[in-house]
Structure 1
């Protein structure tokens, strides 16, 4: 088994790109779960058994080096997302709060892109649609779209509830809802 254990950088870095261009490299496609693990056993796209041992979350385009000098380019598998399109809707503050409360209670990660809200599909589509349908104004269309898993990475936005501060009064627990705002070009 080939083991990639050295992080070299990103394929967009000039030096790394040159190394890729001048070598016989391998490519691996990782799931969202795999990219966040420090140790993964998988296969390259050409079927070579590969172990990845790095102490960092991996991103699309990261380049690793195996112990034999082989470069390994990381690609991320897209994930499916439920998209709520608010572009042609005048959602009331009450409707927005009710929807936010309902999906927050389910601990759904979300990303906001322009006037759209995206949720990774982590439950059955029917359940997710039922959850939002009861609270969503009729003029808000929904659809599914495949997006990079990094769409839902938390960029330092902390939505922690603190018992006793008036922000949350039910149990004294803390959790991160993973809310991320992205621009329209991050697809």
Structure 2
């Protein structure tokens, strides 16, 4: 299994680049959407993302149980794209009454551990699978004024570092332009 990690700022073109990059791989394609349509604006954003995706993608909506969903799809799809890890982390935060308690770190560690196990599997069915992980880079701005935002920023930084560490390729997208880091 090959892991491709794509990060960048909001509206930088990460998702579009991930889809474009994945077009070079044949086979069935699964898109795992982590966004939850909790308000009208998010409904509009989700609809816009759906319209941008080519019809070859089969979409699965999973806000929390990401590793389990990936594991369940690995033998059926040659390309799996997760969009995005930052929203997944937000969903974990919103379900946790005290996000700074360490459960967020545990959730990140558990996710990365499960992906590493899938990556290490010596299964002939998985050898041609490409897993695309898309995430926002939120740590390049000012220090947030409230504690919850700082805890989230730090957790997102940890998640991105760990995802980049296990990835075979890493891209940073700025203004629609990808920069290959690894």
TM-score by length of 1: 0.24
| More relative contact order, 1 or 2 (CA 8 Å, 6+ apart) | 2
Greater Rg by CA: 1
Larger relative helix fraction: 2
